[in-house]
Each structure stands twice: as structure tokens, then as C-alpha cells.
Amino acid sequence: MKKYSVKINISRIAEFSNELFVITFFLIILDLTGLKLPHSVGKTYTILFLAGVLLRVFLLIIDRNTYKALCRNLSNFFSLGGAILLPLLLGLLLAVSTAELFHYPGLVQEHLNLKFDPIRWMSAMLLILTPSAIILLLKSRLRKKLLTIFIPKIFYLLLFLTAMAWTGRYLFLYLDTIYYDNYSFATFHIHPVGFTNLSMSLASLSAFVFIFMMLKNRKELYNSSPKVSDLLMGFQGVYQTLSLSIIQALTLVSMFGALILYSQYATQKIALSYANLHNISKSTQSEATSYLLGGRQSYGWIAEYTDFIKTVTPDNAVIFIPPQIEHWTWTGNKFFMLYFLYPRKMVVATDLYQGIPESVTHVLISHGLLKDVDEDAASFGWPKIIISSAQISRIDLIDRSNLEKNTILGEAYYQDPSTERWGIITLR
């Protein structure tokens, strides 16, 4: 790297960045102990930590040798810290996740009066400390045993446990969806959400193994005697012993964090897919559509409703439908209604009170799909105009809750906001 003749006191910058890290770590530890710190503290230490990293990078660009030399002071402190904190964190994390699995998520946070989710924070800390801990383990006297026996065993165990936690999560979510909400807690006293945290903790642990696997020049590492200067913050150690640069290691860690989130989403999607498939396995096409759109009391109603309309109208019917506003964004969409009612034709009203055009043979009765608690009840119900009995040949109605069908003959139609009505008016 080219040397720049910039007159900056590099040693001051290095010291300053070290100080930033110390402050950050103390703040994190204070936060973890549950002291009532103001909200801005959380933001502050994130900023401080990032500022520290940026300063390091800046130094790296300016002068690599000075950077290395000046980073020694505190490196020892952090890697030792890593070695003590890591097992402690591991134990705590597993204990907390397991406890919450059988009681309820947020148990620890509530009882210790913490402002943050301890599991998330511990997982994040683990990710930060993992590299330094790896280096330290590698340089210890036990290294040969560690490499040949301990690490692979931990790896297999972790993979197994992560897989189990994921499977558990999937299984109980599946049970909840096919039976009823809260089924798994009522029956087994287990929270599916607890598995989320457990799998997250386990997945953070596997970061440990993952970074280990990126080691390429492992042999050199065994033979060299441990150097304290290698161990700064873990990342510095990774930078020197892996074939990855410090920034690539950071990229990898942040990508790994993202991947954990994605896997959680994916496993949840897998579980819900099979639960949905189970629930629609014995239903007809329109029942399945209804279920997948949220059921009869939600948008799913459209499937069964249009099925009914098809049975009471001929193929050449011209149906007058509400304008696509307010409660009629679905039933007022010409193309949407056409999908279900083709080959019948749709005529869309221009406003809520428009009279019936001449070409029309049927008028849709649509209450409005979703009931919003805040909405004024009077705003529901279409058509809003009165249609005299002379114009009407018959009115076919269907009950949304029990699918009961009802035909009215020789009566005028007028809108009654207090009753929910769905159906179709056949004009003379």
C-alpha cells in the first residue's frame, strides 16, 4: 500500500480508536446488566463501534505497519475477554432460549426488566467475539486435540441441534395452523416462537464453525507460537491468519447474519406451506381459493360469493357492479370480477348513486368485503339507490356466515345499512 505523507498523528488515531472500542464494550456490558440506560445509549454504542471500525480501516489504508504496531496494547485484553465472555455467553444464551421455549417468549426480558431482547444481543455479541475466540483456541496448548476432535464434534452437534430446533419450529407451527392457534402451547406447553430464538442462538454459534472453515493456512498457524498482536478484536487475527482480509471477514459476518434471518423466513414459509396444503387438501378449487385469501370473513368470501352468482345468472348476463372505491376495491374491479364470472359482462358504476344503465340485466348486491371497526356502518351496502318492484324480476341473496340462500320475489330493493346483504338482482 502506498504511503501518504499526510501529517496526521497516527498513534493518536490508533489510541483513539482503541478507546472507542473500550467505551463501546463497557456500554454493551452495562446495557446487558439491565441498568436503566436511556434509549440513546443503544444508538451511541452502535455509532461508536462503527466509528472504531472505520478508524481502523482508515489507518489500514494510510499505514499498515504503524497500524499493526499500535494495535498491540489492547489486543490482549480483548482476546482474553473473548475467551471468558464466549463460554459465558454460550451458556447464557442456551439457558435463556430454552427457558423461554417452555414458558413464554420475553420471559427473561420481563423479569429482569430489560429494555432489549437479550437473545438478540447475545447472538450479536457472539458474532463479534467469535473470531477472537477461534484464534485463541487455536493458539492454546490443546490445539491439536481441538482441531482433530473437539471442533468437528461441536460442529456436528451444532448442526444437529440447529436442525432439530428448526424442525421443532416447523412442526409446532404446522400443528398450530392445522388445529388452532395456541394448540402447541395448550397441549405440549411449548411456544413455537421460542424455537425461533433457540434456532437463532444455535445458528449464531455455527458462525463460529463457519469462520473456522474459512481458515486456509491452518498448518502455519499450528506451528507459529501465539502472538498477542494477532488477536486484536478477533478481526485483526482473522485478517492475518485467514486468507480473507479484515473487510472480507466483516462482509462474511454481515452476510452470515443476513442469511440466518433468511433461513428463518424460509423455514417458516415451508411450515406454513405444508399446513396450508393440509388444510386445503380435501376442498374444491373455490374453497381452496377462499381459504388462501383469508377465509369467508375476509377476502376469501369473493370465491364462494361469485360461485353463487354463477349459479343464479345465465352466461349472457350483463352485471352492474359498484365503482372501485371505498369498500368495493375488489367487487368494483371489472377485470377481477370477470376472472370469476366470465363470460358474463360487467358494467362498472361511475359513482355510488348512479342509476341503472339500459344494457344491464343484473345488479350486484355487495355489502363491502372487509368490516373496519372505525368505519361508519351507513357507508356500507351497494346499490345505494332504490329499485322499484316493477323493475325487479327476482332478488337472490346469500348469507355470508352460513351460505344460506334466499330468493325474494315481487319486492322493491332498498338499501338497509344495518343488515349485511350479498347477492344479485335480476331485472325485468
Rounded Cα gap, residues 352 and 377, in angstroms: 16
Question: Should residue 324 be labelled a site residue for other proteins when binding is judged by CB under 8 A?
Answer: no
> Which residues have C-beta within 8 Å of that of residue 221, sequence separation ≥ 6?
138, 139, 215, 241
246-275 binders of other proteins (CB under 8 A): 247-248, 250-252, 254-255, 257-259, 261-263, 265-266, 269-270, 273-274
State in angstroms the smallest separation of the CB of 375 from other proteins.
Answer: 18
Annotate each residue in 162-201 with x if it binds other proteins (CB under 8 A) or - if it does not, as one string: ----------------------------------------
Rounded Cα gap, residues 397 and 423, in angstroms: 4
For other proteins, how many residues bind (rule: CB under 8 A)?
47
State in angstroms the smallest separation of the CB of 162 from other proteins.
Answer: 9
CA distances from 344 to 254, 306, 322, 341, 347 (A): 55, 11, 16, 6, 10
Question: Should residue 338 be labelled a site residue for other proteins when binding is judged by CB under 8 A?
Answer: yes
Question: Should residue 154 be labelled a site residue for other proteins when binding is judged by CB under 8 A?
Answer: no
State in angstroms the smallest separation of the CB of 331 from other proteins.
Answer: 13
> Which residues have C-beta within 8 Å of that of residue 132, sequence separation ≥ 6?
78, 79, 81, 82, 83, 231, 233, 234, 235, 237
Question: Should residue 121 be labelled a site residue for other proteins when binding is judged by CB under 8 A?
Answer: no
Distance separating the N- and C-terminal Cα atoms of the chain:
89
Three cell numbers written together for 300: 376469501
CA angle in degrees (0–180, nearest 5) for 196-84-35: 65
State in angstroms the smallest separation of the CB of 292 from other proteins.
Answer: 5
Interface pick for other proteins out of 210, 312, 318, 415 (rule CB under 8 A): 210
State in angstroms the smallest separation of the CB of 272 from other proteins.
Answer: 9
DSSP string, 133-185: HHHHHHHSTTHHHIIIIIHHHHHHHHHHHHHHHHHHHHHHHHHHHHS-TTHHH
Rounded Cα gap, residues 292 and 285, in angstroms: 11
Annotate each residue in 273-302 with x if it binds other proteins (CB under 8 A) or - if it does not, as one string: xx-xx--xx---x--xx--xx---------
Binding residues (CB under 8 A) for other proteins: these are 57, 60-61, 152, 155, 159, 209-210, 212-213, 243-245, 247-248, 250-252, 254-255, 257-259, 261-263, 265-266, 269-270, 273-274, 276-277, 280-281, 285, 288-289, 292-293, 333, 335-336, 338-339, 342
